């Protein structure tokens, strides 16, 4: 289930203050204004855009042209225009290039508790950065139970019931040169129509819990190269207890192609490979092999399909001889 996402004016200001050289000029009491998840927004208004009263943007950027336009208005028109702007309750208004804010704009912002900021950046730079930052901050998000790792340069989520050895497998993979992203509760954000970005909650960064040992700090034990901040999710390895009585129709087909399927995460179907867990099986080797096989399939090579084609070719030759 996706987690509702939101951001307040204060959070947005704090996150971008240094990067964009922001200063808070007026409307300080509006710091708790909230912008909801992208899923609740129409295509118009936009998350960020230049000053607009028809389709009021959530972050209104006030550039030199907009300030010049205000200067050309008659006093009554100007007052009505400013009233329409603040009545749309934008998350914030941002003046570009360090320009001085007009007194009536400051007064309107304070009277309506509309956050008014000024930035040293140009308008197009603010537009690009606000759109990117807000889209990412408000993108659909979910938390899954498992261990998220980088294995052979792709993001792999290891899932399965408690006690199956997910953390032990992750530790073994780390010792084999792969990297830990998040243990227990990785967070996944849909940052594009076909892309899920996985990261670790701040509380759990660098940590891995292994039964019988406790909590390990992977960065301190194995160095900076053993952990990674985030990674795109490309594959799920699901650990499942092996059923020794598994028989029946289709069993041979499973042995040929493996147990491969799809799992829906947010709105995307992610490939999932199920690995049976049983005594004596080297899960680390199996996990690496599964990832390598998946990478080959994504490049167009399927070993099982190639074997079937080879077998069909041999049968044709046998019939002709």
Give me the pLDDT at residue 4, please: 61
Q: How far apart are CA 136 and CA 133, in angstroms?
A: 5
Give me the pLDDT at residue 38, please: 52
The three state secondary structure string of the chain is CCECCEEEHHHHHHHHHHHHCCEEEECHHHCCCEEECHHHCCCCCCCEEECCCCCCCCEEEECHHHHHHHHHCCHHHHHHHHHHHHHCCCCEEEECCCCCCCHHHHHHHHHHCCCEEECCCCHHHHHHHHHHHHHHHCCCEEECCEEEEEECCEEEEEEECCCCCHHHHHHHHHHCCCEEEEEECCEEEEEECCEEEEECCHHHCCEEEECCCEEEEHHHHHCHHHECCEEEEEEEEEEEECCCCCCCCCHHHHHHHCCEEEEEECCEEEEEEEEEECCCCCHHHHHHHHHHHHHHHHCCCCHHHHHHHHHHHHHHHHHHC
**Percent of the residues in the chain that have a pLDDT greater than 70, as a whole number:** 92
pLDDT: which is higher, 286 or 247: 286
pLDDT: which is higher, 256 or 219: 219
Pull the structure tokens for residue 139: 């993108």
Give me the pLDDT at residue 82, please: 94
- Strand duo 179-184 + 146-151: pairing: antiparallel
In the predicted model, is pLDDT for residue 86 greater than 80?
A: yes
Give me the pLDDT at residue 45, please: 59
Q: Which long-range contacts (CB under 8 A, 24 or more apart) does 250-258 make?
A: 256/304, 256/307, 256/308, 257/304, 258/290, 258/293, 258/304
Q: What is the mean pLDDT of residues 147-156?
A: 96
Residue closest to 93 by CA, chosen among 110, 78, 68: 110
| Catalytic positions, written as ranges | 145, 166, 184, 255
**Are 3 and 93 in contact, with CB atoms under 8 Å apart?**
no
Least confident stretch, 11-15, 72-76, 108-112, 259-263 = 259-263
Give me the pLDDT at residue 307, please: 82
**Using one digit for the tens of pLDDT, what is the confidence trace for 269-292?**
999 999 999 888 899 999 999 999
What's the whole-number average pLDDT of the chain? 89
Least confident stretch, 75-79, 263-267, 314-318 = 314-318
* Per-residue confidence band for 302, with pLDDT thresholds at 50, 70 and 90: confident
> Mind listing the domains of the chain with CATH numbers?
6-137 (3.40.1390.20), 141-311 (3.40.50.300)
In the predicted model, is pLDDT for residue 42 greater than 50?
A: no
Give me the pLDDT at residue 167, please: 94
Pull the structure tokens for residue 245: 């009585």
Give me the pLDDT at residue 251, please: 46
Q: What is the mean pLDDT of residues 125-129?
A: 93
**Using one digit for the tens of pLDDT, what is the confidence trace for 153-178?**
999 999 999 889 999 999 999 999 99
pTM: 0.76
The residues near 256 (Cβ < 8 Å, ≥ 6 apart) are: 304, 307, 308
């Amino acid at each position: 289930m996706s987690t509702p996402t939101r951001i307040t004016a204060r959070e947005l200001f704090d996150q971008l203050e240094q990067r964009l050289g922001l200063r808070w000029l007026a409307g300080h009491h509006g710091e708790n204004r909230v912008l909801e998840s992208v899923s609740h927004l129409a295509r118009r208004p936009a998350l960020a855009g230049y000053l607009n009263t028809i389709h009021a943007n959530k972050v209104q950027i006030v550039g030199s042209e907009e300030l010049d336009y205000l200067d050309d208005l008659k006093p009554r028109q100007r007052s009505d225009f400013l009233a329409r702007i603040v009545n749309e309750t934008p998350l914030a208004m941002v003046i570009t290039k360090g320009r001085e804010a007009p007194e009536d704009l400051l007064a309107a912002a304070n009277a309506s508790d509309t956050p008014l900021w000024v930035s040293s950046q140009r308008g197009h730079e603010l537009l690009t950065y606000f759109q990117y930052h807000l889209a990412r901050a408000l993108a659909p998000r979910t938390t899954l139970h498992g261990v998220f790792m980088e294995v052979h340069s792709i993001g792999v989520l290891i899932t399965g019931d408690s006690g199956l050895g997910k953390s032990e497998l992750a530790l073994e993979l780390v010792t084999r040169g792969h990297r830990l992203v998040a243990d227990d509760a990785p967070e996944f954000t849909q940052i594009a129509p076909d892309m899920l970005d996985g990261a670790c909650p701040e509380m759990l960064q660098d940590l891995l819990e292994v039964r019988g040992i406790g909590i390990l700090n992977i960065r301190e034990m194995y160095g900076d190269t053993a952990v990674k901040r985030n990674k795109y999710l490309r594959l799920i390895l699901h650990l499942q207890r092996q059923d020794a009585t598994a028989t029946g129709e289709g069993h041979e087909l499973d042995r040929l192609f493996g147990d491969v399927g799809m799992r829906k995460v947010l709105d995307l179907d992610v490939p999932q490979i199920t690995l049976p867990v049983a005594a004596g099986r080297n899960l680390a080797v199996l996990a690496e092999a599964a990832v390598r096989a998946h990478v080959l399939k994504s490049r167009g090579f399927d070993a099982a399909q190639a074997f079937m084609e080879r077998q069909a070719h041999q049968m044709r030759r046998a019939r002709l001889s």
